[in-house]
Amino acid sequence: MDNLAVRTRLDGPLLIITIDRPQARNAVNLAVAQGIAAALAELDGRAELRIGVITGAGGNFCAGMDLKAFASGERPWLSGSGFAGMTEAPPKKPLIAAVEGFALAGGFEIALACDLIVASRTARFGLPEVRRGLVAAAGGLLRLPRRVPYHLAMEIALTGRQLTAEEALTHALLNRLVEPGHALETALQLAREVAENAPLAVVASKQLVASSYAWAPEEMFARQRGFADPVVNSRDALEGARAFVEKRAPVWQGC
């Protein structure tokens, strides 16, 4: 499933999504938004797919919104999923960002909407919207303060300065920091580790980590049951226990 701006390919249970506009540093126009949305629908809709990896072609992840397209009246938002077809509605299944080069403005917001981030030492992150008379309204100003200290988030938002990959690692924004050219390779290795696990448990675990920060202490465990109980009562839970007892690899059914 490709369009002219987004390519996808399968690697076993992995779906690899590539923003393919290297001449524009993979800036997001409407075609990119539609392509990403379609790819994530495929990820969530196909039972054999366990996890996605999103990256950019030509040495950059994504330089943000295509300002030329924006100036001509195009808006790369989709109803229900937001900017780039994903920032307001990430997939239910895990998604890893594999970042080389620039991940700026909307590109950084795409990465922040992912569950894991692998970046090379060439990577640069930032929210320079204030320098263009814009606001980082695709989740950057909402997600970043939950990932880094308040004053650092405020500095990035108000100055528009870029964060180096080493700084991002220092502030725990990254899962892996790798040498240039190896972000996708390492992201795929990490994705395969995730894909080995029980699919129902992985999805429920993602949902709990992503949602529970906003739950009141007195309701946390009650709300957790809605995610955890279907997993505990699944066939895969029994399979995991039997595989452990029988000293073999489990065979997951996703049910």
Respond yes or no: is residue 100 known to be catalytic: no
Name the catalytic one among 129, 167, 239, 246. 129
Tokens of 153: 């988030």
| Whether 52 contacts 43, CB under 8 Å | yes
> For the purposes of burial, counting CB atoms within 10 Å of the CB of 229, is it exposed (0-12), middle (13-18) or buried (19 or more)?
exposed
In 67-135, DSSP assigns E strands to 77-78, 82-83, 95-99, 102-104, 116-120, 124-126
Residues 6 or more apart from 208 whose CB is under 8 A from it? 224, 227, 228
Radius of gyration of the chain from Cα atoms?
Answer: 19
Residues 6 or more apart from 212 whose CB is under 8 A from it? 220, 223, 224
Count of positions (residues) in the chain = 255
Name the catalytic one among 109, 166, 193, 219. 109
**How far from 207 is each of 112, 126, 200, CA to CA, in Å?**
15, 26, 11
Coil vs helix vs strand at 175:
coil
Respond yes or no: is residue 167 known to be catalytic: no
Among all residues, which ones are annotated catalytic?
A: 109, 129
